[in-house]
Amino acid sequence: MQVGTGRSILNGIAIGKLKIYKKKDTVISAAEVADTAAEVARFEDARAKAIDQQTALYEKALAEAGEDIAEVFNIHAMMLDDDDFVDAIKEIINGQHKCAEYAVKTAGDNQAAVFAAMDDPYLQARSADVIDIAQAILDILQGVDNATLQGTEPSILVAEDLAPSETVRMDKSLLLGFITREGSSNSHTAILARSMNIPALIQCKVIQDDWDGKMAVVDGYNACVYVDPTPDLLKSLKKRQQEDQKKQALLQELKGKSNTTLDGKTINVFANIGGMSDVGAVQQNDADGVGLFRTEFVYLNCKDFPTEDYQFEAYKQVLESLAPRKVVVRTCDIGADKTVDYMKLDHEENPALGYRAIRICLTRKDFFKTQLRALLRASAYGNMSIMFPMITSLRELQDAKAVLDECRAELRAEGKKFDEKLEVGTMIETPAAVLIADELAEECDFFSIGTNDLTQYTCALDRQNAKLEPFFNPHHPAVLRAIKMTIDAGHRHGIWVGICGELGADTALTETFLRMGVDELSMNAKSVLPVRKIIRSIDLSKPSDK
């Protein structure tokens, strides 16, 4: 038996034969070509097919993993339309008289190197995206079909690394798990694996070619893989796998039941969504409502500024589908790691601390009003609450509410209906907001704590930087104290307080949050039932044993 260790992506067990996923080596000629016009035509044809391919991958990821994950393929399609990238390829073909394959490979490598050399971790990560789209064009040019690399029987795939496009293309009924030598736990592929409940091990350095066809077990709980496990070990891990499956079946029995502790305290357990495609998961997992509707995906899915009517229809569809459930909508949080070309945002040395979210909205008032008018109009068709992101001062909140009031007055004058009693709240995701929470609470109907950014800003750790993973502690005492301070401030002023960041799904903290007095937890839809199970086992009338 051989044991390999790495970094686990999901607490789970995968058992099956290993399948080495190795792409065919293809030779690219560096010889000069005579007919450069023909090579440009070949490239343009392949590029058009690659864009169609990314669109198909978007639809597939949307159905299997939701809006957040699928968005990477929209970004890939936009990158394939990038003038700098396209012009660089054509210049190599025409200027150096090279074939299309050579030009695509060279331009892709050059562009990837530019991103890799940047200081910003998010932009560094885009290096892998460039390589992925360049490879997509190359595969089309060379007639390479990677669909057969997975094999025809259920297996655990083993690879150097996997691009998001490769993971999405795979037949999930044949994918038991995967192991890669490289990779990051924050990569799109890792997030995809978690969302689809696929046990995976990354950064496993002992991968060998002779593993192909051998029986193995990926043990996500202990972050290791057992190749040719002993009969006793295999029996033990199969039992653990069966126990996991039974737990999943038991969770389904919690549907329709309340999120009430043993001593009678009930809280709301909501889901986070990116758009209409996530509504099914909210319903299937029996979430009480939506605690975070990330409206920036409406913008990311468009090639130009979405109109008021377009946004109205997008929001109305979600509201109608989930009524009477509450849907808490976050106004546009574009910026930092989420950008769109048509907004023409300047490159920033430190985008996490830069021009983003409410800062864009308050300095581009027409842009902001278009969204607020659409949201107000949609509020007539369901149970909507609106919250503003990245608030750091009382003035910002007051200014945002003033724009909202201006939109209300316009719609009344136009005779358009909306919910006059709509709740208005703010995200608490900066230390500044925590420290002035009492003042903010006087202007709000609720708080929603964004723990991802709150952790980042409190601990001075860029959450996009993979090198900082060893230093990242989501349970940092300072973060937990900030959460408690916010809950207390909200309750002093009679407003409800929720948590909508990653910590909302952290069952190790569920009891802690309930004892702090949190009123609502919002999370990825698949975590709703596991959190409900924990809530129903807690007795707040007794001292905590933690």
**471 and 525: one domain?**
yes
Whether the Cβ atoms of residue 93 and residue 36 lie closer than 8 Å to each other: yes
Tokens of 515: 């004892």
Q: Is 126 annotated as a binding residue?
A: no
**106 and 190: one domain?**
no
pLDDT score of 196: 72
CATH of the domain at 81: 1.10.274.10
543 belongs to a structural domain = no
Q: Residue 303 and residue 295: Cα distance in Å, rounded?
A: 15
pLDDT score of 252: 81
**Average pLDDT score over residue span 494-501:** 94
**85 and 159: one domain?**
no
pLDDT score of 218: 93
Query: Is residue 145 scored above 80 in pLDDT?
Result: no
**Average pLDDT score over residue span 520-530:** 91
pLDDT score of 339: 66
**Average pLDDT score over residue span 188-197:** 71
Question: Which of 251, 284, 316 delimits the end of a domain?
Answer: 251
Whether the Cβ atoms of residue 448 and residue 425 lie closer than 8 Å to each other: yes
pLDDT score of 524: 86
Query: Is residue 347 scored above 80 in pLDDT?
Result: no
Q: Is 169 annotated as a binding residue?
A: no
Better-predicted residue by pLDDT, 502 or 133? 133
540 belongs to a structural domain = no
Q: Residue 438 and residue 447: Cα distance in Å, rounded?
A: 11
pLDDT score of 65: 67
Q: Which amino acid is residue 471, in one-letter code?
A: F
Q: Is 524 annotated as a binding residue?
A: no
Whether the Cβ atoms of residue 475 and residue 427 lie closer than 8 Å to each other: no
Whether the Cβ atoms of residue 107 and residue 82 lie closer than 8 Å to each other: no
Helix, strand, coil proportions of the chain in percent (round to 5)?
50, 15, 35
pLDDT score of 337: 56
A 10 A CB-CB count for 90 gives 17
pLDDT score of 209: 86
Look at residues 490, 534, 496, 489 and name the one whose alpha carbon lies nearest to residue 512.
534
Look at residues 201, 228, 234 and name the one whose alpha carbon lies nearest to residue 214.
228
Better-predicted residue by pLDDT, 47 or 194? 47
pLDDT classification of 514: cutoffs 50, 70, 90: very high
List, for residues 364-394, the tens digit of each pLDDT value.
999 999 999 999 999 999 999 999 999 999 9
Q: Which residues pair with 292 in a beta bridge?
A: 272
**138 and 231: one domain?**
no
Split into its structural domains, the chain has a count of: 3
Q: Residue 232 and residue 238: Cα distance in Å, rounded?
A: 10
Q: Is 313 annotated as a binding residue?
A: no
List the single range of 141-145, 191-195, 197-201 with lowest mean pLDDT: 191-195
A 10 A CB-CB count for 43 gives 23
213 CB-contact burial (10 Å; exposed 0-12 / middle 13-18 / buried 19+): exposed
Q: Residue 481 and residue 498: Cα distance in Å, rounded?
A: 15
**Average pLDDT score over residue span 162-184:** 83
pLDDT score of 313: 93
**492 and 458: one domain?**
yes
Instruction: Please state at what angle helix 36-65 crosses helix 121-142, rounded to 10 degrees.
Output: 120
**Average pLDDT score over residue span 34-50:** 95
**16 and 45: one domain?**
no
Q: Residue 201 and residue 164: Cα distance in Å, rounded?
A: 15
Better-predicted residue by pLDDT, 338 or 168? 168
pLDDT classification of 344: cutoffs 50, 70, 90: confident
29 belongs to a structural domain = no
**215 and 272: one domain?**
no
Query: Is residue 49 scored above 90 in pLDDT?
Result: yes
Sheet holding 215-219, edge to edge: 2-5, 224-227, 215-219, 13-20, 155-159, 175-180, 200-202, 7-8
Contacts of residue 497, defined as CB under 8 A and 6 or more positions apart, other chains included, come to: 446, 447, 448, 449, 486, 487, 490, 491, 517, 518, 519, 520
**95 and 229: one domain?**
no
256 belongs to a structural domain = no
pLDDT score of 287: 94
- Report the percentage of the chain scoring pLDDT > 70: 94
pLDDT score of 120: 64
pLDDT score of 270: 96
Query: Is residue 543 scored above 80 in pLDDT?
Result: yes
545 belongs to a structural domain = no
pLDDT score of 66: 67
**Average pLDDT score over residue span 223-241:** 93
Residue 12 to residues 93, 194, 243, 510, Cα–Cα distance (Å) = 49, 10, 10, 21
CATH of the domain at 336: 3.20.20.60
> What is the pLDDT of the chain when averaged over all its residues?
89
**241 and 311: one domain?**
no
544 belongs to a structural domain = no
Three-state SS for 137-199 is HHHHHHCCCHHHHHCCCCEEEEECCCCHHHHHHCCCCCEEEEEECCCCCCCHHHHHHHHCCCC
List the single range of 90-104, 145-159, 184-198, 522-536 with lowest mean pLDDT: 184-198
Q: Are strands 175-180 and 200-202 parallel, antiparallel or unpaired?
A: parallel
List, for residues 53-104, the tens digit of each pLDDT value.
888 888 888 777 666 667 788 888 888 988 889 999 999 999 999 999 999 9
- Does the annotation count 500 as an active-site position? yes
Query: Is residue 336 scored above 60 in pLDDT?
Result: no
Whether the Cβ atoms of residue 361 and residue 390 lie closer than 8 Å to each other: no
Q: Is 463 annotated as a binding residue?
A: yes
Q: Give one word for 219, left, alpha or beta, with left for phi > 0 and alpha for psi -120 to 50.
A: beta
Q: Is 453 annotated as a binding residue?
A: yes
List, for residues 124-142, the tens digit of each pLDDT value.
767 878 888 998 999 999 9
Domain that holds residue 202: 2-21+152-251
pLDDT classification of 546: cutoffs 50, 70, 90: low
Q: Residue 150 and residue 23: Cα distance in Å, rounded?
A: 10
Q: Residue 204 and residue 147: Cα distance in Å, rounded?
A: 24
pLDDT score of 384: 97
User: Taking every pair of C-alpha atoms in the chain, what is the biggest distance, in angstroms?
Assistant: 83
* Catalytic residue (one of 188, 204, 332, 444): 188
* Catalytic residue (one of 99, 204, 361, 500): 500
**Average pLDDT score over residue span 452-468:** 83
Alpha carbon 134 to chain centroid distance?
23
Tokens of 179: 């192991």
Transcribe 245-311 into DSSP letters.
Answer: HHHHHHHHTTTT---B-TTS-B-EEEEEESSGGGHHHHHHTT-SEEEEEETHHHHHT-SSPPPHHHH
List the single range of 74-83, 88-97, 290-299, 334-343 with lowest mean pLDDT: 334-343
**276 and 382: one domain?**
yes
Tokens of 80: 């394939």
